């Protein structure tokens, strides 16, 4: 919808309510005056949405300002099909339309900047022939070691000390940067997922070579597929509704879009990877949110790995994580329950060419009964999707949004626990000094597991973090040939007595032969402006270097029944009468030290970040801090003229190539600071 029509519609809706009739000339009034008249959508927001979205620190919901940046298609999707479907189900149709009309503040300018930012003809071409494949997927390569060399990137470890901002591009209608780019030659392919846009940008200046428009919100990180005799080189990614997109890497033209849904609950979160003419796609699901509502029939969504033909997008096989869900029992509120469900695959599969398998980590079960495939690493045969082995790290972990308050959808017979200890992080296939290989995976429980790739047997394990529903290990690890780097998104709280003093937000370098910690680093409050010296890496005391855990971790007997807590607004739609009181005077902003994003290695330097937005680069050998930069700040001068602001660093925000370290900043999830920028760092010229 054009800006003009959006305004006209807003005026019409406003007047329908106040029983006035707009004259055509009023419709051309300044936008500012439209804002002055209260739009009915705002009242709908206050009644149905504000309880969570005005208190993001507690609810984890993005702020009103952040959701108002989204484009209309994304808001509509969220309310009708996506995460907010249950929250919006009781909003009368007319009010919902007013809300969808009111929320987006900048509809229409999503693509306006592109023409001005278009590359000059001589750099507009996406050159693939002979260009280095600097990083082609989430894990940099299909074994997902997340390691780049000086030769591949044109950056050395020493140069990290002298990095400086070269240029910044900002994306409109984008509060969250959550998709790791790929780099081929002098082109960086990058997605502004919330805005449903994929771009090919020039690595030297940030100018635009092409852009691709998706009608659906995009979601996953990107993968580059080489041309074959049947198909051109392609960029592959997943969207928020569970479809895979293949886009011509040279032109941005759509090649195919294929459905990866087992049912309506599936989504794609991890990146599809490409191997041998096939697109191996991880499938997640959404119901963990819906289950928060007591009258929701929980749950049928399940994880899977699905292979598509790279040339045609045709589905070749499906590797499920469990049998389809059946009706099981009635909940205490009389609602039909379904199961098994869950064991969804958030992360990017890892390809083992030699053994012809893909390794995928699964999440918890979402409803009863539990399966032996949740919180597990599964090896899938690359020709058939059959399971070759399953390593289950945690047993009987059934969790969904009802569990925080013991809602009716978190009410199962028998022994279970609900720590929500997924494998959200992508695993790695590593080759050690002695030539032996391991599958290494970090879990949200804070445990790093090392498995034999032949049979999934445990080789070593080390619990290096406290763990939580948001990590422990959250998005990934990296491997430099000797050490495994494991950042922890542990909650930032004082240690409990007797607890391993290394627990907490931080990063650990583990010896790949034994799993022992070689060095650890814990950020301090200086990251949030407190006057204190920069924290230093240290060697933990010998007794704390390794704490093995045997698998599977079993449920602890359930504590004596606690009375159910009162329903939150997720279950009971707030009305004017029972709307929650305004939150008390603003609590001080929390200091976020959690190191959630997957690390990246560049010539042995470890690039890391915090959910507060601090970029920090270490020497992988010693833990010495080489570089720090707070990305959570305004960027007034962007090369494309769009207003820019950095925010939290999360998911997989960094990638290097063509002499540049690229960092994406902004993450409007879990109460983290939103942002919309891609920052290009280069060494200062001597």
Chain residues binding ligand HEC by CB under 6 A are 48-49, 51-53, 59-62, 67, 70, 75, 78-79, 82-84, 87-88, 91, 99, 194, 217, 568-570, 669
CB nearer ligand HEC, residue 70 or residue 593: 70
- Considering the complex, state which of residue 68 and residue 278 has its C-beta at the smaller distance from ligand HEC: 68
**How far is Cα of residue 311 from the mean position of the Cα atoms in its chain?**
28
Which residue's CB is nearer to ligand HEC, number 382 or number 408? 408
Q: Of 609, 628, 570, whose CA–CA distance to 86 is shortest? A: 570
Nearer to ligand HEC, 284 or 365 (CB): 284
Distance CA 638, CA 626 (A): 26
Nearer to ligand HEC, 49 or 144 (CB): 49
CA-only gyration radius of the chain, Å: 24
Smallest distance, ligand HEC to C-beta of residue 251, A: 29
Least Å distance, CB 227 to ligand HEC, is: 33
Distance separating alpha carbons of residues 686 and 670, to the nearest angstrom: 41
Nearer to ligand HEC, 60 or 369 (CB): 60
Q: How far is the CB of 44 from ligand HEC (least distance, A)?
A: 7
Query: Which residues are CB-contacts of 438 (< 8 A; sequence separation ≥ 6)?
Result: 429, 430, 432, 450, 451, 452, 453, 459, 512
CB of 92 to ligand HEC, least distance (A): 11
Q: Sign of torsion, CA 151 157 163 165?
A: positive
Based on CB atoms, which residue is closest to ligand HEC, 570 or 656?
570
Compare residues 267 and 278 and give the one whose CB is closer to ligand HEC: 267
**Smallest separation, CB 178 to ligand HEC (Å):** 10
Pick from 217, 266, 351, 245: nearest CA to 308: 245
278 φ/ψ sector (left φ>0, alpha ψ -120 to 50, else beta): beta
Report the residue number, 214 or 660, with the smaller CB distance to ligand HEC: 214
Distance in Å, CB of 175 to ligand HEC, minimum: 8
d(CA 89, CA 294): 13
**Residue 488, both tokens:** 């922890």
Q: Spell out the residues 6+ positions from residue 534 whose beta carbon is closer than 8 angstroms to its own.
A: 526, 625, 628
Residue 51 CB, shortest distance to ligand HEC, in Å, is 6
Q: Which is nearer to ligand HEC, 66 or 393 (CB)?
A: 66
- Residues in contact with 378: Cβ distance below 8 Å, sequence separation at least 6, in sequence order: 319, 321, 359, 360, 361, 362, 387, 389, 390, 391
Residue length of the chain: 686
Least distance to ligand HEC, CB of residue 514, Å:
37
Q: How far apart are the first and last CA of the chain?
A: 50
**Closest separation in Å from C-beta 219 to ligand HEC:** 9
CB 665 within 8 A of CB 677: yes
Let me know: does 159 contact 619? Beta carbons within 8 Å: no
User: CA 426, CA 439: separation in Å to the nearest integer?
Assistant: 11
Q: Tell me, rounded to whole angstroms, the distance of Cα 106 from its chain centroid.
A: 24
How far is residue 467's CA from residue 444's CA, in Å, rounded to a whole number?
A: 5
Q: Which two tokens stand for residue 381?
A: 């045969």
Q: Is 659 exposed, middle or buried (0-12, 13-18, 19+ CB in 10 A)?
A: middle
Q: How far is the CB of 506 from ligand HEC (least distance, A)?
A: 25
Residue 60 or 481 with smaller CB distance to ligand HEC: 60
Q: Exposed (0-12), middle (13-18) or buried (19+): which is 185, by Cβ within 10 Å?
A: middle
Among residues 445, 447, 472, the alpha carbon closest in space to that of 458 is found at 447
Q: What is the residue whose two structure tokens read 């479907």?
A: 85
Q: Which is nearer to ligand HEC, 75 or 615 (CB)?
A: 75
Q: How far is the CB of 422 from ligand HEC (least distance, A)?
A: 14
Nearest distance from residue 565's CB to ligand HEC, in Å?
14
CB 175 within 8 A of CB 676: yes
Q: Count Cβ atoms below 10 Å from residue 330 Cβ, excluding itself.
A: 11
Please report how close the Cβ of residue 342 comes to ligand HEC at its closest, in angstroms: 16
Which residue lies nearer to ligand HEC by CB, 51 or 180?
51
Of 51 and 500, which CB lies nearer to ligand HEC in the complex structure?
51
Q: Least distance to ligand HEC from the beta carbon of 99, Å? A: 6
Residue 267 CB, nearest approach to ligand HEC (Å): 10
Q: Which is nearer to ligand HEC, 80 or 499 (CB)?
A: 80
- Structure tokens given for 511: 């010896």
Residue number, 202 or 287, with CB nearest to ligand HEC:
287
Q: Which CA distances in Å does 41 have to 276, 651, 653?
A: 50, 32, 34
Least distance in angstroms from the C-beta of 484 to ligand HEC: 29
CA distance 357 to 142: 12
Count of beta carbons in the 10 Å neighbourhood of residue 550: 8
């Amino acid at each position: 919808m054009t800006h003009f029509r959006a305004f006209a519609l807003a005026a019409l809706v406003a007047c329908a309510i106040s029983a006035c009739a707009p004259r055509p000339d009023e419709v051309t009034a300044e936008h500012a005056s439209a804002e002055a008249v209260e739009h009915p959508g705002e009242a709908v927001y206050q009644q149905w949405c504000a309880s969570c979205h005005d208190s993001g620190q507690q609810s984890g919901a993005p702020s009103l300002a952040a959701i108002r940046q989204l484009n209309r298609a994304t808001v509509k999707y969220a309310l009708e099909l996506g995460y907010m479907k249950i929250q919006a189900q009781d909003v009368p149709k007319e009010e919902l339309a007013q809300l969808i009309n009111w929320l987006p503040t900048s509809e229409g300018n999503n693509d306006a900047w592109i023409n001005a930012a278009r590359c000059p003809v001589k750099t507009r071409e996406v050159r693939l022939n002979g260009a280095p494949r600097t990083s082609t997927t989430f894990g940099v390569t299909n074994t997902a070691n997340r390691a780049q060399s000086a030769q591949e990137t044109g950056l050395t470890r020493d140069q990290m000390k002298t990095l400086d901002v070269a240029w910044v591009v900002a994306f409109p209608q984008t509060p969250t940067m959550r998709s790791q780019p790929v780099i081929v030659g002098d082109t960086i392919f990058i997605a502004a997922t919330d805005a449903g846009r994929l771009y090919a940008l020039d690595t030297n200046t940030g100018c635009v070579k092409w852009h691709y428009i998706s009608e659906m919100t995009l979601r996953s990180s990107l993968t580059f597929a080489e041309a074959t005799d049947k198909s051109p080189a392609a960029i592959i990614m997943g969207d928020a509704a569970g479809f895979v997109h293949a886009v011509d890497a040279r032109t941005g033209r759509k090649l195919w879009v294929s459905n990866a849904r087992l049912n309506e609950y599936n989504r794609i979160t991890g990146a599809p990877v490409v191997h041998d003419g096939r697109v191996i796609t991880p499938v997640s699901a959404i119901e963990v949110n819906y289950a928060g509502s007591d009258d929701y029939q929980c749950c049928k969504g399940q994880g899977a790995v699905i292979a598509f033909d790279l040339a045609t997008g045709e589905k070749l096989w499906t590797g499920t994580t469990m049998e389809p869900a059946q009706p099981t029992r009635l909940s205490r509120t009389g609602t039909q329950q379904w199961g098994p469900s869950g064991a969804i695959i958030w992360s990017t599969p890892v390809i083992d060419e030699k053994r012809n398998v893909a390794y995928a980590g699964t999440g918890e079960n979402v409803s009863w009964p539990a399966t032996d495939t949740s919180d597990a690493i599964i090896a899938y045969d690359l020709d058939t999707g059959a399971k070759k082995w399953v390593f289950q790290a945690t047993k009987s972990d059934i969790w969904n949004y009802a569990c925080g308050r013991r809602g009716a959808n978190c009410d199962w017979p028998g022994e279970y626990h609900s720590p929500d200890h997924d494998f959200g992080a992508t695993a790695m296939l590593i080759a050690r000094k002695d030539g032996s290989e391991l599958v290494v995976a970090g879990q949200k429980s804070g445990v790093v597991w090392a498995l034999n790739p032949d049979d999934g047997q445990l080789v070593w394990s080390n619990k290096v973090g406290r763990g939580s529903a948001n990590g422990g290990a959250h998005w990934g690890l990296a491997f430099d040939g000797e050490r495994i780097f494991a950042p922890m998104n542990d909650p930032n709280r004082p240690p409990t007595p007797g607890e391993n003093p290394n627990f907490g937000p931080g990063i650990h370098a583990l010896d790949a032969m034994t799993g022992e910690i070689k060095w650890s680093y814990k950020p301090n409050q200086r990251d949030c402006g407190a006057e204190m010296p920069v924290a230093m890496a240290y060697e933990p005391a010998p007794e704390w270097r390794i704490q093995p855990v045997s698998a599977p971790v079993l449920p602890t007997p359930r504590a004596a029944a606690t009375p159910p807590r009162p329903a939150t607004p997720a279950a009971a739609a707030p009305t004017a009468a029972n709307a929650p009181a305004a939150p008390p005077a603003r609590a001080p902003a929390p200091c976020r030290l959690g190191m959630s994003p997957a690390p990246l290695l560049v010539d042995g330097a470890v690039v890391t970040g915090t959910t507060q937005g601090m970029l920090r680069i270490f020497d992988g050998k010693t833990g010495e801090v080489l570089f720090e930069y707070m990305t959570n700040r305004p960027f007034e001068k962007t090369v494309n003229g769009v207003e820019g602001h950095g925010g939290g660093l999360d998911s997989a925000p960094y990638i290097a190539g063509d002499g540049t370290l690229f960092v994406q900043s902004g993450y409007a999830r879990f109460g983290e600071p939103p942002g919309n920028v891609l920052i290009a760092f280069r060494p200062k010229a001597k």
